[in-house]
Amino acid sequence: MSIKKDKYYLKLANNLAYNFKGYSGPNPSVGAVVVKNNEIISFGNTGSSGRPHAEVNALNKLSKNEKKNSTIYISLEPCTHYGKTPPCVNKIIESNINRVVYSSNDIDNRTSGKAYKFLNSKNIKVKRNLLKNYSNKLYKNYFYSKKNKIPYVYGKLAISKDNYTKDKKNFYITNEHSRKSAHVLRSKVNCIITTYKTINDDNPRLNCRLNGLKNFSPKVAILDKNLKVKKNSFLILNAKNNKTYLFHNKKEKKTINYLKNKKIKMIYTPLYNNELDFNFILKTLYKNEISTVLIEGGKEITYSLLNNGFFNEFFLFISPKYLKNKGLLKVSNIKSNLSMIFKNIKLNETFLDKDNLIHYY
């Protein structure tokens, strides 16, 4: 197979992974394409719970004869370790595939760099690191989370043209297109982090309400140092329908028992500079198989996390409205702060009608 054709099929595998990025649970989204006699005979991607893996989904569609002497193209190194499922290299060997091509080594120490040697020892030809730069961008958040053992952190904020985050007369600042885009962002992360202030002021649902994506609503983590969250808020009353964590620093037995009875996981959290220790929060969420989070809060938490360098990426939605005396909570220097922190800035001006979206990364 020529390098040109290898790149072509491997690009398809990477695109499969990209299209499902954010929807494969705690595991990275992986794409696999099976080729025989210069024809694609099967493909697959990681399942929505992180399982089955892409290689298994692609190979299970084929007969024994179809799999024999074929080539499998994979966006990420196939796993070699036993976890909740057997290693994918075993599936590849059982299938009598004679060639494997993949883009990047997995960063997981249980697998990293081991597939090449193992598959070669079974007389399977292996080509690796093809389209590596493309693949590394695809797995940027996965590599970051796995290396640092904390989730990759996205931020989101909506403001008016004159930099207010709230409108005294209308609940929403941005238009319907921006709000739908925000719901897509929610669907692509494992967990949303918010504060008791946001819950008490806005009573948000923090789920994904787009048709086809409702099942991808993320878990919720509430930051509430002194247990001040309103007990009749939507998130508290509906916690049994979604995994909900509450990080606090107050030992108030009655309130804690009430929230536990609502099926909320209560986590006593140490303080840092008189606030909940955010590093502790991230490490705890990571231990609960959360690798990506979206911060949905107000001015206070946004500035705090910005000033302490916690955001990996940020989405700023900007309405064309000038609120003037109808505006509340002004963030006058938010764009300049973001521009100083992030190297890359992408402005989307078209698909949100008159709203704008600036992506910082």
DSSP string, 17-81: HHHTTT-STTSPP-EEEEEETTEEEEEEE--TTS-S-HHHHHHTTS-HHHHTT-EEEEEEPPP-S
Catalytic residue among 39, 55, 94, 289: 55
CA distances from 157 to 50, 178, 299, 357 (A): 29, 11, 9, 10
| Cα(344)–Cα(357) distance, integer angstroms | 14
**315 and 355 Cβ atoms separated by less than 8 Å:** no
Positive or negative: CA dihedral 66, 67, 73, 75: positive
Concerning whether 176 is annotated as a catalytic residue, the answer is no
CA distances from 59 to 14, 37, 68, 224 (A): 17, 16, 11, 47
Would you name the residues annotated as active-site residues? 55
